[in-house]
Amino acid sequence: MKKEKENSQQNTKEIHENEELVEEIKEESKSEDFNEEENEHEEEASETEDEKLLEEIRTLKEEKIRVLAEMENLRKRFDREKIDSIKYGSVGFARDILSPGDNLERALSAINPEEDHSQSIKNLIEGLKMVQKELSSALEKNGVIKINTVNQKFDPNLHQAMMEVERDDLDEGIVVQEIQTGYMMHDRLLRPAMVGVSKKTKQEKASRADNEKKNNDKD
């Protein structure tokens, strides 16, 4: 009987020990689960921080590219303005020079070459022609050139029509007379040429209209 009692106590002791062991295992399991969750949170926080850093890097790169592009545009703009200032910086002065040149040309064109002049007048004429030649040369060196006009098709970008001249031997819109010389400075219009432009006479227009009507009736 005593032996059975001892065995019962031993079994009870083992059961308690087993229960304590189970509790310890449960506690260890809870601790491991907590550690895993804590590690997961730390990993998520680390990933979020990495994403923020990558986003900041991308933003900085975009800002750097934008700043470099703006600097390049400013450099190109500065270069263009520098070239334009060199090429067209004397536009106002060139325009002022054209008027005396026009007067000089009118004076020379008013002289009758067939008229017999004294030697002093001839010398004066030669001097004026030399001045005109030097003036033209100076203008050309600065990129100022004359606009072609006579026998050219009227171009509103280069020519300014001052009058119409009836000419049946030419197509309409042909420059037949130059009233004032026009000039270009490099690729810009310095002064338009004042011109007279051809047009058909009323009789010629009526004749053309009749011919067109006859052709239409035949068709």
Residue found under tokens 């009736």: 217
pTM, entire model: 0.59
Helix boundaries (H) for 89-183: 91-109, 119-141
How do residues 201-218 score in pLDDT, each as one tens digit? 876 655 655 556 555 555
Distance, CA of 146 to CA of 80 (rounded, Å): 25
Q: CA angle, corner 88, sides to 155 and 139, nearest 5?
A: 75
Give residues with Cβ within 8 angstroms of 139, minimum separation 6. 94, 97, 101, 145, 183
Averaged pLDDT of the chain = 79
Query: In 3D, which of 172, 169, 157, 164 has the Cα closest to residue 195?
Result: 164
Instruction: Give the pLDDT of residue 217.
Output: 57
Helix (H) or strand (E) holding 56: helix 2-88
- The domain spans of the chain are 1-88, 90-142, 146-219
139, 97 contact by CB (below 8 A): yes
Q: CA angle, corner 107, sides to 105 and 111, nearest 5?
A: 115
How do residues 18-32 score in pLDDT, each as one tens digit? 566 556 655 655 555
Instruction: Give the pLDDT of residue 116.
Output: 82
Residue 54 tokens read as 């990558």
Residue found under tokens 């009507």: 213
Task: Write out the chain's pLDDT in tens, 219 residues.
Answer: 444 445 455 555 555 665 665 566 556 555 555 455 555 556 666 668 778 888 888 888 888 899 888 988 988 888 888 887 777 778 888 888 898 889 888 888 888 877 887 888 888 889 999 999 999 998 998 889 999 999 999 999 999 999 999 888 888 999 999 999 999 998 899 999 999 999 988 766 556 555 565 555 555
CATH for 146-219? 2.30.22.10
